[in-house]
Copies of this chain bind each other. A is one copy, B any other.
Amino acid sequence: MLESTLTHLVCTGCQRTVSADEWHGTCPDCGHVLAARYDLERARWTFRPAELAARPWTLWRYAELLPVCDPRFRLTLGEGGTPLLPAPRLARTLGLRRLWLKDESRNPTGSFKSRGLAVAVSRAIELGARAVALPSAGNAAAALSAYAARAGIPAFVFLPMDTPPSIVRECLAYGARVYRVRGLITDCGRLVRRFAAERGWADLSTLREPYRAEGKKTMGFELVEQLGWRLPDVIVYPTGGGTGIVGMEKAFAELAALGLLAGSRARFVIVQPEGCAPLVRAFHEGATRARPWEGAQTIAPGLRVPATIGDELVLAAVRASGGTAVAVSDQELLEGTRILATDEGVLVSPEAGATVAAVRQLRANGWLAPDAEVVLFLTGSGLKHPELLPADEQCPVLEPDADSLPDPPVG
A: which residues have CB within 8 A of B? 53-54, 57-58, 76-78, 81-83, 85, 89, 103, 106, 108-110, 145-150, 152, 158, 161, 165-166, 168-183, 187, 190-191, 194-195, 199, 338, 341-347, 381-384, 386, 389-392, 394-400, 402-403, 405, 407-408, 410-411
- In angstroms, Cα B390 to Cα A106, docked, is 23
Q: List residues of chain B with CB within 8 A of the CB of A178.
A: 392, 395, 408, 411
User: How close is A107's CB to chain B, nearest CB, in angstroms?
Assistant: 8
Known contacts A182-B399, A395-B180; decide if A345 and B169 are in contact (CB<8 Å): no
Known contacts A166-B386, A386-B166, A410-B175; decide if A345 and B149 are in contact (CB<8 Å): yes
Q: List residues of chain B with CB within 8 A of the CB of A108.
A: 106, 345-346
CB-nearest residue of chain B to A406: B179
User: How close is A131's CB to chain B, nearest CB, in angstroms?
Assistant: 13
CB-nearest residue of chain B to A172: B411
CB-nearest residue of chain B to A410: B175
Contact A174 B341 (CB under 8 A): yes
- In angstroms, Cα B182 to Cα A187, docked, is 49
Q: List residues of chain B with CB within 8 A of the CB of A158.
A: 398
- In angstroms, Cα B179 to Cα A399, docked, is 10
Contact B181 A398 (CB under 8 A): yes
What are some 8 contacts across the A-B interface (CB < 8 A)? Answer: A54-B54, A78-B106, A145-B345, A146-B346, A172-B390, A173-B338, A174-B411, A180-B392
Our pick among B171, B344, B400 for the contact of A149 (Cβ within 8 Å) is B344
Contact A347 B389 (CB under 8 A): no
User: Given A57-B81, A77-B83, A78-B82, 7 other A-B contacts at CB below 8 A?
Assistant: A149-B344, A169-B391, A170-B347, A172-B390, A172-B395, A175-B341, A181-B399
Q: List residues of chain B with CB within 8 A of the CB of A341.
A: 146, 149, 173-175
User: How close is A271's CB to chain B, nearest CB, in angstroms?
Assistant: 21
Q: List residues of chain B with CB within 8 A of the CB of A411.
A: 171-176, 178
Contact A180 B397 (CB under 8 A): yes
Contact A191 B389 (CB under 8 A): no
CB-nearest residue of chain B to A84: B78
Most buried by B among A81, A187, A389: A389
The secondary-structure label for the interface of chain A is mixed
User: How close is A399's CB to chain B, nearest CB, in angstroms?
Assistant: 6
User: How close is A382's CB to chain B, nearest CB, in angstroms?
Assistant: 7
CB-nearest residue of chain B to A397: B180
Contact A172 B82 (CB under 8 A): no
Contact A182 B338 (CB under 8 A): no
CB-nearest residue of chain B to A337: B173
Contact B402 A174 (CB under 8 A): no
Contact A345 B168 (CB under 8 A): no
Our pick among B166, B381, B397 for the contact of A182 (Cβ within 8 Å) is B397
- In angstroms, Cα B343 to Cα A175, docked, is 9
Q: List residues of chain B with CB within 8 A of the CB of A145.
A: 345
Contact B146 A347 (CB under 8 A): yes
Contact B173 A389 (CB under 8 A): yes
Our pick among B77, B147, B384, B395 for the contact of A168 (Cβ within 8 Å) is B395
Contact A179 B408 (CB under 8 A): yes
Q: List residues of chain B with CB within 8 A of the CB of A410.
A: 175, 177
Q: List residues of chain B with CB within 8 A of the CB of A150.
A: 344-345
CB-nearest residue of chain B to A226: B56
User: How close is A170's CB to chain B, nearest CB, in angstroms?
Assistant: 6
Contact B173 A382 (CB under 8 A): yes
User: How close is A368's CB to chain B, nearest CB, in angstroms?
Assistant: 24
Our pick among B83, B168, B392 for the contact of A165 (Cβ within 8 Å) is B392
Contact A342 B83 (CB under 8 A): no
Our pick among B53, B85, B161 for the contact of A78 (Cβ within 8 Å) is B85
Our pick among B78, B345, B386 for the contact of A103 (Cβ within 8 Å) is B78
Q: List residues of chain B with CB within 8 A of the CB of A83.
A: 58, 76-78
- In angstroms, Cα B344 to Cα A78, docked, is 12
